[in-house]
Amino acid sequence: MSDETQFDDRFRVPPALDETNRFFWTSGADGRLRFLRCAACGYWLHPPSPWCPECGGRDVAPEAVSGRGVVHSVTVNHQAWDGDQTPYAVALVELDEQAGLRLTTNIVGVDPELVTIDDRVHVVFEQRGDVYYPLFELDPDPAPAFRPDPDRNSDR
């Protein structure tokens, strides 16, 4: 996993960093993707929230995930919303750590038409200033999916 991959010079609207989201958007500085996690029960919270809906815990802190996941859905955008005519892939990626833990993101480094649902992916970061945008690339080879205990952290 590379930590400072620069893919292109395309326009990106940056996130407005504040005390609740800075950890997420700067996490890629060491090549790792992080979400808030409940210390008591291990539930991953996204977007960041100060209360665990699984156990009611209040002790939540950023923790690194594997950065691996699966394409839950993908669309190829053709409309030049930001002036760029080049089609690109917008995807929902579900992280291996927890069913339903998803990011809206881009699948990069591949013809967007070749990305399909259920493809295995891994995170790569695009750095612009302080912000490391978590994007995803297709895995080169099929890898066995890590799946957590289905009785815990179930998607509701």
Partner 1 sequence: MSAFERRSIISGIGQSAVGRRLGRSGVDLTIEASLAAIADAGLDVADIDGLATYPGASPGGEAFSGPSSPEIQDALRLKVNWHSGGLEGPAQLAAVVNAVLAVGAGLANHVLVYRTVTEASAQGAGGRAGIGVGGAGADSIATKGIGGVLQWSIPFRAYSPAIWLALVAQRHFHTYGTTSEQLAQIALNQRRNAAENPNAVYREPLTLDDYFASRMIATPFHLFDCDAPVDGSTAFVVSRAEHASALDHAAVGIESVGTALKGRPSWDQFDDMTTMAARDAGAMVWTRTELTPADVDVAELYDGFSFLTMVWLEALGFCGKGESGAFVEGGTRIALDGALPVNTHGGQLSAGRLHGFGHIHEACVQLRGEGGARQVAGAEVAAVANGGGPIGGAMLLVRER
Stretch near partner 1 under the rule CB under 8 A, chosen from 26-34, 54-62, 76-84, 145-153: 76-84
DSSP 80-126: -TTS--S-EEEEEEEETTSTT-EEEEEE-SS-GGG--TT-EEEEEEE
Sign of the Cα torsion 92, 95, 100, 101 reads negative
Judged by CB under 5 A, the residue of 8, 12, 14, 41 near Zn ion is 41
Q: Does 39 bind Zn ion (CB under 5 A)?
A: no
Chain length of the chain: 156
Judged by CB under 8 A, the residue of 9, 47, 111, 151 near partner 1 is 47
Stretch near partner 1 under the rule CB under 8 A, chosen from 26-34, 55-63, 84-92, 138-146: 84-92
Which of partner 1, Zn ion, none does residue 58 bind (CB under 5 to 8 Å by kind)? none
Cα separation, 90 vs 105, in Å, equals 6
Of residues 98 through 137, those in contact with partner 1 by CB under 8 A are 100, 102-106, 117, 131, 133, 135
Judged by CB under 8 A, the residue of 12, 58, 147, 152 near partner 1 is 12
Q: Does 148 bind Zn ion (CB under 5 A)?
A: no
Judged by CB under 8 A, the residue of 38, 52, 60, 91 near partner 1 is 91
Residue type, 87: P
* Closest listed residue to residue 111, CA positions, set 86, 129, 92: 86
For residue 25, what is the DSSP state?
A: H
